[in-house]
Structure 1
Amino acid sequence: MTKYILFAPLFSLAAFCAIACNGKKSLPEDPAVWNKVSIDFSKIDEKGLAGPPDGKVAVSYEFCIPAEEKYWSEVQKIDKTAQAMKGSPGRIGCGKSQWLVVGSTHQENYRRVIYELAQRSYVQKIQEAFFE
Structure 2
Amino acid sequence: MKIKAKNLLKKSFAKLGRLVTNRVGYIVIRILFVYSTLHIIFIAFLFGEYLAVFEGVVVLALFLFLTLKEHVISEYQKLTNEQREFIDEMQSTLELAAKQIKTCEKKSAASLRSVQALEKNRLEKENETRVTKKKRPGQTHP
Specify if TM > 0.5.
no
Higher relative contact order (CA 8 A, sep 6+): 1
Instruction: Provide TM-score, normalisation by structure 1.
Output: 0.24
Q: Which has the higher strand share?
A: 1
Q: Max radius of gyration: which structure?
A: 2
Greater helix share, structure number: 2
